[in-house]
Amino acid sequence: MKLSEKQLVLLSAALSAAVVAVAVAALALRRPAPLPAAGTGYVALIRIEGAIAYQTSQLSLLGSTASADDLVQLLDAALKDPLAKAVVLRVNSPGGSAAASEALYLKVRELAASKPVVAYVEEYGTSGAYMAVLPAARILAANSSIVGSVGVYTSVITYSGLLEKLGVRVYVFKSGELKDVGSSFREPSEEDKRVLQSIVDGVFELFKKRVLAHRRLANASEVFSGRPFLAEEAVRLGLIDGIGTLDDAVNLAREMAGLPKDAPVRELKPPSPGLLRLLLGAASLARKPVAPSVEVLAMWPPPG
């Protein structure tokens, strides 16, 4: 059926109105919870969900991540808001980039020095995510959650054998023998392996110091083996303080801050994108950052 010019104009207008309506509805759904009444203290809730990473991390190429930049801003907002009397960190993360996890740890430490912080592990609170919440005054976890996996690693994937079969040769001109350590275009030498292992060992030592500064462990050698633990075992080893629910964590935060039992909880979220950004977001999703081929990860389970 051929539409007249007037019908085409009306159809176009209707489609445009529908797109705007969907965008506005999406923005409404992302709108943060209303502010508490003036002068009323509240518990700030911040989610740490997904792999912790910066935009340029390899992990960002695998899909949605917990942006370290966004989380640091949210923690800073809770720190500066005098009405945020306590903070609950709602954690479901396998960790991620060691550097991003370290940045989060430092900000949580700064926050915990000023007001009560309680961490609650919903499913995963492992590796870098566990590091990040170490400064919390209390760490609780769900009964079936997994905690620990204290450690770091890095991976190097090489394509030299495949390139050779395809008849592709890569020539690298470098200023020093180790300038291209971790290159995907050649097999790592023994010296390459030594250098990469020394980097992993150095970051691991820092991780261990963080754990020992905040937790009294029942068996350090078991904890530092890198293995993950179910919540009950994590309590036994001293990795967490107890098993409970999110409500238990919120009530504990209220109690520690001297708030009434019915003090409100407000979830802090990153700012919603503008309407134009929402409508044109598909274009930005098509662009992927250039990520380094070697990255030290504090993560369990490893990315697939």
Mean predicted confidence (pLDDT) in 134-138: 98
**177 assigned to some structural domain:** yes
User: For residue 50, is it within any domain?
Assistant: yes
Answer yes or no: is 5 within a domain.
Answer: no
Residue 29 is predicted with a pLDDT of 47
Active site residue 6: no
Contact between residue 217 and residue 223 where contact means Cβ atoms under 8 Å apart: yes
Query: Could you confirm whether 80 is annotated as catalytic?
Result: no
Domain count within the chain: 1
Contacts 24+ apart (CB under 8 A), 58-66: 58/291, 58/292, 58/293, 58/295, 58/303, 59/96, 59/97, 59/297, 59/299, 59/303, 60/288, 60/289, 60/291, 61/288, 61/289, 61/291, 62/303, 62/304, 65/96, 66/93, 66/96
Q: Give a yes or no: residue 44 inside a domain.
A: yes
Top pLDDT among 184 and 291 is at: 184
pTM, two decimals, is 0.81
* 282, part of any domain: no
Task: Please state, in angstroms and rounded to a whole number, the distance separating the CA atoms of residues 223 and 94.
Answer: 16
* 128 or 10: which leads in pLDDT: 128
* Main-chain phi, psi angles of 60, to 5 degrees: -70, -20
CATH code, domain carrying 125: 3.90.226.10
For the chain, where are the alpha helices, taking DSSP H only? 5-30, 68-80, 98-112, 128-133, 160-165, 190-214, 220-223, 231-237, 246-257, 275-279, 281-285
pLDDT tens string 25-83: 544 444 444 555 556 899 999 999 999 998 777 676 555 688 999 999 999 999 999 99
Catalytic residue among 179, 193, 209, 225: 179
- Among left, alpha and beta (phi > 0; psi -120 to 50; other), residue 269 is beta
Among residues 93, 127, 145, 149, which one is catalytic? 127
Does 75 fall in a domain? Answer: yes
Let me know if residue 4 belongs to a domain. Answer: no
Does residue 12 form part of some domain?
A: no
Contact present, 112 and 137 (Cβ < 8 Å)? yes
Domain of 65 in residue numbering reads as 36-270+292-299
